Amino acid sequence: NRTDTEKTPVTLLGLGAMGTALARSWLAAGHPLTVWNRTPSRARALAAEGARTVESAAAAVAANTLVVVCLLDDASVEDTLTGTDLTGKDLVNLTTGTPSQARARAAWAAERGARYLAGGIMAVPPMIGVPGAGGFVLHSGARDLFDQCRDTLAVPAGAVHVGENPGHAALHDVALLSAMYGMFAGAAHAFALIRREDIDPTAFAPLLADWLTAMAGAVHGTAEQLRDGDYTKGVTSTLAMQVAGTPTFLGTAEEQGVSPELLAPFFALMRRRLDEGGGEEDLTGVIDLLVSRPE
Ligand code: FVH
């Protein structure tokens, strides 16, 4: 019987860049850790740091109730877990996948007698096990299972439960990363605009970061407008005003010899919403143009 001060033993399958970072965080926090990796050499350094290594995925699964997998993709999860006995296990899958893969994998695990949490890691390996680094891990699935495992799951990075639907961790993961790519696209266009001028990009970057940070809070207003179905609520910069400004952006891009191909699709959607009568709204109406209507 474990006492309250003993740390939950963890099995971890998958010792790539992320799996290795996860392993080190659990070892540093004093969790007994059993690891397995398809290529055994990747486990050697961890063995020297205190992890128990075993010969097969089946032996690793058998070692502990809490089994975490962090593999390349859903197919590698299937490859690895087929032939293991998942009966009575608490399986936490931190492998990136689509929402439908996560839902199918949850049903697959349930058929094999395991409780299941799907995960999405919002961090890169150097952020793992570093308090204050800003990373977190999204989980979806049974709330009671999450609550039971929470302290252990929160060791690598903050653990956040986003709902019982097992597909929702993956959906949140992809939604957050999609927003990140939008931000990277905007930053790419901004750097392109200054590229041919005598402007030091390292002097420009702090201004860009401060501006993006200041604007990030606007998502809360968007969320409230979506929730309330009122896209004019609290609007400070109407769509009409913003569309009127787009020739300035496109003209500046042309003057600077920069392709408008990153900005133009968004401007086209803004124009469409304006033409449909959304001039007094915020940008929120554009979201509805992106979502296909049910058949
Ligand atoms: N690294 C990152 O920045 C991102 C951050 C956000 C989350 N992702 C996701 O995390 C999963 C694992 O990523 P990773 O960085 O550990 O990936 P790799 O270093 O490429 O390691 C892949 C591991 O998967 C094993 N593997 C691949 N195919 C199979 C298979 N068919 N059977 C068994 N294992 C397999 C591979 O084993 P080996 O090549 O060493 O033998 C590695 O352990 C991933 O979903 C990211 O999207 C990371």
Q: Is the CB of 121 under 6 A from ligand 1?
A: yes
Tokens 């899958």: give the residue.
93
Residues 6+ apart with CB under 8 A from 258: 189, 192, 193, 195
Do residues 75 and 99 make contact, with C-beta atoms less than 8 angstroms apart? no
pLDDT of residue 72: 98
Count of the separate structural domains present in the chain: 2
Nearest residue (CA) to ligand 1, atom 6: 121
CB atoms < 10 A from the CB of 148, how many?
15
Residue of the CA atom closest to atom 31 of ligand 1: 76
- CB neighbour class for 62 (10 Å; exposed up to 12, middle 13-18, buried from 19): middle
The answer to whether residue 176 sits within a structural domain is no
Residue nearest to atom 30 of ligand 1 (CA): 76
- Asked if residue 184 belongs to a domain, the reply is no
Look at residues 170, 204, 236 and tell me which one is the last residue of a structural domain.
Answer: 170
* Enclosing domain of residue 239: 217-290
The CATH number of whichever domain residue 256 belongs to comes to 1.10.1040.10
Q: Write the ipTM.
A: 0.99
pLDDT tens sequence for the chain (295 residues): 566 569 999 999 999 999 999 999 999 999 999 999 999 999 999 999 999 999 999 999 999 999 999 999 999 999 999 999 999 999 999 999 999 999 999 999 999 999 999 999 999 999 999 999 999 999 999 999 999 999 999 999 999 999 999 999 999 999 999 999 999 999 999 999 999 999 999 999 999 999 999 999 999 999 999 999 999 999 999 999 999 999 999 999 999 999 999 999 999 999 999 999 999 999 999 999 999 875 5
Closest CA to 36 of 10, 14, 67: 14
* 166 and 221 co-located in one domain: no
Residue 14 lies in a domain: yes
Q: Do 83 and 153 share a domain, yes or no?
A: yes
**Same structural domain, 227 and 146:** no
pTM, whole model, 2 decimals? 0.94
Residues 89 and 228 in one domain: no
Asked if the structure places residue 183 within a domain, the reply is: no
76 lines ligand 1 (CB under 6 A): yes
Tokens representing 66 are: 């809490």
pLDDT number for residue 205? 98
Interatomic CA distance for residues 115 and 133, integer angstroms: 30
Q: Which structure tokens are listed for 187? A: 């930053």
CATH code where residue 83 lies: 3.40.50.720
Ligand 1 atom closest to 38 (CA): 41
204 within domain boundaries: no
- Which tokens hold the place of 90? 């608490």
Q: Which of 35, 41, 72, 76 to mutate to test the pocket of ligand 1 (most atoms within 8 A of CB)?
A: 72
Q: What is the pLDDT of residue 293?
A: 73
- For residues 92 and 153, the answer to whether their CB atoms sit within 8 Å is yes
Q: Is 176 in the pocket of ligand 1 (CB under 6 A)?
A: no
- Cα 276 to Cα 289: distance, rounded to the nearest angstrom: 11
**Residues sharing a CB contact under 8 Å with residue 105, sequence separation 6 or more, in sequence order:** 74, 77, 93, 97, 116, 118, 166
